[in-house]
Amino acid sequence: KNFTKRHLIIGSSLTLFFSLLFPYGIILLGIAIITALLISQYFTRKYDGLSGDMYGFMIEVSEIVLLQAALLL
């Protein structure tokens, strides 16, 4: 309700800034975005939308994928 475009810009800028502090941060950020987009596209096609449980699933899967990617890097 109180979330504005300004909040989105600040949050995105901080995420990008902190991901640039680490050598592989931008790669991991890209992996997280791609993972979330693929999962959201799958659920949107299959169920015609997203629910809170699906968002929670996307967060958990993204964390697992990021941890695995960080171990490989």
32 CB-near residues (< 8 Å, 6+ apart): 62, 65, 66
Half-sphere exposure in the Cβ direction for 25 (13 Å, CA):
10
Q: What is the pTM of this model?
A: 0.72
> Greater confidence, 70 or 3?
70
pLDDT of residue 1: 65
pLDDT of residue 61: 93
pLDDT in tens, 12-55: 899 888 888 888 888 888 898 899 999 999 999 999 988 989 99
Q: Which amino acid is located at 41 in the chain?
A: Q
pLDDT in tens, 55-71: 999 999 999 998 999 89
